[in-house]
Structure 1
Amino acid sequence: MSVSPEKSKPSWFWPLSAIAVPLVALITKTKRLGTLPTEGAYVLAPNHMSEFDPLIVAVAVWRMGRAPRFMAKASLFKVPFVGWVLRVLNMIPVQRESTSVGARQTLAAAEDLASTGRGVIVYPEGTLTRDPDLWPMRGKTGAVRLALEAGVPLIPAAHWGAQKIMPRYGKFSLWPLRKKTVFVVGEPLDLSAYVGRERDTRALAEATNLLMNAITALLETLRDEKAPAERWDPTKHNQKETGNYES
């Protein structure tokens, strides 16, 4: 498999992957479907249903030939050691509290993506899904906005099986080892109708719904069942949104 310069060039990803890859492989046997671009920037948008799934996604992306960089809560960058790891891996901090700050950070991240050709992983739901059956819930506009601002492909992805390792807000389950999980990467979305409309809230909402439909369709193939006709909306169900990974 060919790999991108961001993976083949020496970096902190090398020693960390030497630890993470065999550890995750011991816990889960992940089947990978689809491909990522060998070169160039992109935004990868997977579903989010378990505290453990970032590790599954990160290792899958690494094995697909790209370096796994996430958008992460800015507060995590202040945590000792964790913050250092995030910084040396060039993860992207996101502020939740201020819309103006968040917009500036998105623009800065987009400029960095376009200039460096790196990929970034963004959870469009912003946190763990609140859907009782773990289907993707209503998405936030961050992933779409970032892809449009940077002018890079927006790629939907889905995974299934992480809930057997760590149920949402549940306890880690190590035994039996090598639980099966699946990770699939879809085709880049056609966002041509939204180019130049990065500040149009209606356009961003429409494009985000398109993205969530694509992620849900991928997950339906993994689960071999249909998702509910109405997507879970935490604002309608009076749910408080929390989590480490933001849109």
Structure 2
Amino acid sequence: MLFCSDKSFLFCFLCLSTSFSDSSVSVYFKRKTNLYFRREIAVIPDYVLSLTECAMKCVCKNKCVSFFYNHLDFCCQLGGKTYVSFADSSTDPWKYYERQMTNVASFKLVSMSSEWNPPHHSPSYAVDDQVLNTLNGAKCACTQNDFTPWMVIDLENTFDVNYVTLFNRIDTLGERLQQVTVYLGEDSGSFSVTCGTFTGPGENAEVIHIVCNKPATGRFVKIQMNNFQRNRYLTLCEIRILV
């Protein structure tokens, strides 16, 4: 059984039956309106009958947490890159939907391997619930050129993490973000669980969802860049931990 609403909130309930067991999955999507998002136009979308069918495709696809839907042409895009946009795209028929979950990283304590040009790139900018288009990556958290730069967020409680969203630098040098791994741990000195990775290289204003391998439980989340080339600056304009 599947039901979806065409409003900002989208509810999908999918009953699954396999040869091993009977199970059900409840999934909520929400049309994101606090920021504008644009899709990778090089990807060919699928034709669907409705928003419901597009949501169904995402529910049934492994590690799908978001999609674009065109309500005029009945098109659905699950793959491709996602970018945050600062142009008013309210009239664009392509609307962005994402899993409705709770961001537990907001305004939590963040530590970094180092800090570039303080206070313009303080760690707190990574969890201030703002994604800003600024010159020189200002008001984005940024490390110095460390060997393996990292950021650690203390969630203050232990959570089952579903996915981690990284907002790359907006203006330039987005390609620096590569070979990123997200770890989880019960204390700030030990990260025994690997959520997932992003190979990259990233692009300017790219929004990256790293969907955790299950189980992924921890209080501390570490984002580390294992890029052993030059320009090993880890710059993130926002980090969201979704549970």
Structure exhibiting the larger radius of gyration computed from Cα positions: 2
- Greater helix share, structure number: 1
The higher-RCO structure (CA 8 Å, 6+ apart) is 1
TM-score, normalised by the number of residues in structure 1: 0.31
